Structure 1
Amino acid sequence: MTEHRVVVVGGGFAGLQLVHSLKGAPVKITLVDRRNHHLFQPLLYQVATTVLATSEIAWPIRRLYRNRPDVTTLLDEVLGVDRASRTVQLKSGEVLEYDTLVLATGARHAYFGRDDWESMAPGLKTLEDATTLRRRILLAFERAELTNRTTELDAQLTFAIIGAGPTGVEMAGMIAELAHHVLPPEFRKIDTKRTRVLLVEAGPRVLPAFSEDLSAYAKSALEKLGVEVLTGKPVTAITEDGVTIGDTFVPARTVMWAAGVQASPAAKWLEVEADRAGRAVVGPDLAIADDPNIFVLGDTASVIQDGKPVPGIAPAAKQQGAYVAKLMHARLSGKPVPGPFRYKHQGSLATIGRRAAVIDFGKFKLKGGLAWWIWGLAHIYFLIGTRSRLAVAWSWMWTHMSGLHSARLITQKESLKDES
């Protein structure tokens, strides 16, 4: 009997959960990803803000499956899908045949029609994004130390974060702590405490997915850290010199984007219906409408439950991967398939600096220092491998006790060249 061929595109939370849950099934899996590592995206901002090293939140995919002979890993990029011949075309020229295809290719930043802003306001989705932002943040302080012009000093010490969801809030809080508490003893000419951190949100409040009381607490906690929270004010222009908020121009040499995402081209590959963010519309079993053997998961999929979209967060992606694996096990064994996918919300968490967080579990809400510890334990639990859990726990403990950030290397050759 020929083994069932499964092609999984994407080594994120959904793809890896699916592959993990298919262990022992009579399948031959080919896992394709453009990068050789799985990334724990919820902690990317801590790499960008010098708390964690890249190796603490990413793991080589090949290492994860070194003891799984049923899994073949390919470092490649998908160019398209031919549904008639049931093949996937790769950039290397290889063509993969499949019996079941799973697309879990994630999302990138969405600039709402202003893609020209990306080079001046990078987002945060990959390790490359995180190290780019970290470099720009650290170089801003170095350039400020070298300048003798007050206007340039102010521009270098102004950081603008656009978008006040969890990523924007977490970035703003950590940059403020870095500038106001970590760096002051290390510079001689400048006072890093005069740094301005602007968190800009077009909507009426920060953390709009959280309850209003937790949103209000987050705003107050950010302001205590020195963050200027500007809500109800859209960004209308971004240049190399700064950002225009409404009608007001603010000189800022470091601008970061956390305002929206755009799905991968998976819906275009499949020629299926997509929502406004480019996510492929799938049915209750997470398969596309006219092919029960093609599934779309995670940030790539538009999944509607009880009239609302399932959020594009790690727990949802992992649940989707586990569900499709369960469905495939049932099909391959001739057993009844499970009912429609049901997302079980496990709560929303966001941290504000290194001593406060907000947690929303629906009826149960928590804020402050205890919430920060719970947030930390939850993230450590979801990390892959004992080594990573110990490394992150140690880094956090060191940062918490000493107030110092250890991952502050600028590794590019021309470290003072203006990149903005």
Structure 2
Amino acid sequence: MGNEDAVRDSLLIRGGFATLLSFLLGSTMWSATHPDDGSAQLVFLSSLAFGLVAAYGLTRPTMMSLPKRATWMLILTVLWAVLAFQEPTAHYMIVALFALYLYRLPLWWGVAATAVVMLLGSGIGVVVMGSDVSVVVGPVMAGLVAIAVAVIVEEVFMVGEDRRELIDELIFTRSQLAESEREAGVVAERQRVAHEIHDTVAQGLSSIQMLLYAAERDIPDDSPARDRIEVARKVAAENLRDTRAIIAALQPRALQGGTLADALRRLATASHENVPGLSVEVTVGHRSDSGALALGTLEVSLPIMVKSVLLRIAQSAMANVRHHSGATTAQITVVADLSAGLVEMEVIDDGRGFDVPGALVGASGRAQGGHIGLMTMRQRAASIGGTVEFGSAPGRGTVVRTSAPLEGHRLESQHP
């Protein structure tokens, strides 16, 4: 049940209806006794039937489906018409009926019911009380006022619901941004520590190894120092391996024990396992300074931060593919353009697509569902100086294209 339905079915609203109907029924029955012409008994019975039917519906707000509610109100309307023919005072009960139509039925159903009963009330009034102008105008004016109030209240509900959704989205977005910033800070610090260890401890141990190799060659084979140098060289080599293991462990968890391509292939496998009908292919390659494209290897070691951001964007894009696109095939392509100093990643699917301008407006304003993910992907790319572009249209699949600078990359051959 939505917030609007919860308000309409609240005890306060139902109590207000019950109070109003009780007052009007009481007035009708009291009027029926003055003068006492013998019709009071029939009015009492009709009023009792009306009250019981009204109580049945007002005490079961959540148990009545729309068809049952409509039937309940139709019965109330018939009973009211019977009362109105017997006792003129019952005409005032039309106000309560208008309120019930407009607050217990969908708005335009309620408007239609109110319009019909307006005409019915005017007709009954003319038959019972004569063709006086007030008899005709009274129900019409009451109905128009009730409709105007209902439309205003509906608009207030809609504005309130929009604000509630916006607040929820802002809270969610702030938590996403906070998590993204925290994650980016952790990754940046781990990258800094890894670089420091690489540039100091690892390079120092590597230099010690080379110096010990050189010293070992200069020492005679029968020298006692040769054995000690060999032990020192082995200790340095072992410590260098441990240091490289520490550097690797400082990478994001999904990137540990493998390259970005390995992590993307694991993502593709997991996506296929979650959606058996989805086939995902991963391709990596590099474009040399001459412009030739070679597939199979990036030929560069990307900074940890760049690899982490690309992986996160790929994960978000594939989450959209799995949950929203209905795609059967997807392609993840990563190409390092050495001449342009850029790494580019594309995630393409053959799903149902979406309206990009509308989604981006939603992501910056009233996001719906996955639209917040579009904004998050752009923010992740911006954190490394990159960009994300979306290409899609309803029924035409989706392309998520990410571009980021290779600034600070090192050739694989230079990596320890």
TM-score range, shorter chain: under 0.3
The structure whose RCO (Cα within 8 Å, separation 6+) is larger is 1
Give the greater-gyration-radius structure (CA).
2
- Comparing both structures, which one devotes a greater share of its residues to strand? 1
Greater fraction of residues in helix: 2
TM-score, with structure 1 as normaliser: 0.21
